[in-house]
Amino acid sequence: MIEQNPLRALPSVDKILNGQAGNALVERYGRGPTVEMLRTVLDEVRERLREGKPGIRDTTELAEIVADRLETAYRPSLRPVINATGVIIHTNLGRAPLSTAAQQALLEVAGQYSTLEYDLEEGKRGSRLTHAESLLCEVTGAEAGFAVNNAAAALVLLLSELAQRREVVISRGQLVEIGGSFRVPDIMTQSGAQMIEVGTTNRTRASDYEGAVTPNTALLMHVHASNFKQIGFVESAFIAEMADVAQRHNLYVVDDLGSGALLDTESFGLAHESTVQESLKAGADLVVFSGDKLLGGPQAGMIVGKKHLIERLKRHPLARAVRADKLCLAALVATLDHYRKGDAVEQVPIWQMIARPLDELRGTAWRWKQQLASDLASVIDGESTVGGGSLPGATLPTALLALTVRHPDAFTTRLREANPPVIARIADDKVVFDPRTVLHDQEVALVNIVKNYLNS
């Protein structure tokens, strides 16, 4: 095939496009991008040949190079990764993976028409706000509730409706930054509420709230925060004291729980995290929590509590602007259903991960080590974290696969370049992989990727 002049032996763009490999590329990436990439690669080959460097073997190799380049160039930037960090609710990695039932529910409404805003009995317009409400009430014990886009939106909505041009009393210890960019004081300002700070950064008493009440006070607000200690310590007891003050002055208590656990974290060896049920029972009028933290569902913000307040929030113009979409609602309802049925620990991935016994984790780490069959691998003790602003500082004992490689930084960089990318940690100069957050069906890929890199 190779002629005397290798430049002339190069196939034409048209010839490649009309071949089988070219057809496949056009089908996958479209004609325009394929032609452009073919030209680019051919130009590069010509350049190399002119410089007396080796060109390409044949059309097949050319098509492979082009396919590779197109794959990299048009790969979506949002794609799945393997989370081997041991941080269960990893905000940068998409927080909570969904249960199988939630994924199925989401898929079902994704490709078909649905009852999103349709009342089948009446044959007319219905409300999207009804879908999650009865389940939310059932699992939290609230009178009413609905879901919006996320918890930050829920806060803006409720402050706009209940506290615009009015005062909101909040502890100095709770003026926290959430998720790296959203600060409680900013939310207050955005919502037109005037923030009245009480107490100190590390101590606030119920009497501090009472002392700040004026005729223009709308709410007493409690925000779940790590660096905050109340007199009385147990958060729900403190909510009860706040509710007492609120009742005397005809005010409302709003509790921003953030992670919003519905299960008792203590039974998994973790610190106690106030549950939504406890907060409501203690007297919070409205409780706000996220859908994708300890609930283990899709990104959403739940507002549950007093029916007359919830009805006001539903009617606010902002409710439309921050509404949850149908994919979210489908996944959310399926997630809540696990709590109703009582199988959340078995079915909701973040709870499965929290509940995974140390023996099992150690077994997995040892299995990986055996599969890698490398002297560089060992199994060591470590700690997983819950993450997502929930249970700050709380850790769960785990077993880690550790690799003693010469350049841990370079190694983790290569892991991130893999397909799928693997996100690992470096601890004590070792690259460590926590089995707790690696989904079962990702294990084979993980081991293969690591094995490949160790052998290259």
Ligand X SMILES: *Cc1c(COP(=O)(O)O)cnc(C)c1O
Binding residues (CB under 6 A) for ligand X: these are 150-152, 178-179, 223-224, 256, 258-259, 290, 301, 389
C-alpha 434/C-alpha 399 separation (Å) is 7
Q: In what order do the strands lie in the sheet with 286-290?
A: 144-148, 301-305, 286-290, 252-258, 217-223, 167-171, 194-198
C-alpha 225/C-alpha 234 separation (Å) is 13
The smaller minimum CB distance to ligand X, of residues 206 and 288, is found at: 288
* Position of minimal CB gap to ligand X: 258
The smaller minimum CB distance to ligand X, of residues 78 and 120, is found at: 78
SS3 305: strand
The smaller minimum CB distance to ligand X, of residues 10 and 188, is found at: 188
Q: Please report the beta strands in 283-389, taking only residues with DSSP state E, as ranges in sequence order.
A: 286-290, 301-305, 377-387
Q: How far is the CB of 157 from ligand X (least distance, A)?
A: 12
C-beta atoms surrounding 117 within 10 Å: 14
Output the six-digit token pair for 49. Answer: 């040949």
Q: How far is the CB of 398 from ligand X (least distance, A)?
A: 23
Q: How far is the CB of 288 from ligand X (least distance, A)?
A: 7
Output the six-digit token pair for 188. Answer: 């207050």
Cα separation values, 33 from 28, 41, 45, 79, 104, Å:
10, 12, 18, 21, 34
Look at the block and give the residue holding tokens 């100190």: 200
Q: How far is the CB of 59 from ligand X (least distance, A)?
A: 51
The smaller minimum CB distance to ligand X, of residues 151 and 168, is found at: 151
| Residues forming a β-bridge with 196 | 169
Confirm if 112 and 289 have CB atoms less than 8 A apart: no
C-alpha 238/C-alpha 226 separation (Å) is 15
Pick from 201, 148, 102: which is nearest to 313 by CA?
148
Q: How far is the CB of 53 from ligand X (least distance, A)?
A: 53
Q: How far is the CB of 68 from ligand X (least distance, A)?
A: 37
The smaller minimum CB distance to ligand X, of residues 133 and 256, is found at: 256
The smaller minimum CB distance to ligand X, of residues 236 and 364, is found at: 236
Q: How far is the CB of 30 from ligand X (least distance, A)?
A: 36
The smaller minimum CB distance to ligand X, of residues 322 and 376, is found at: 322
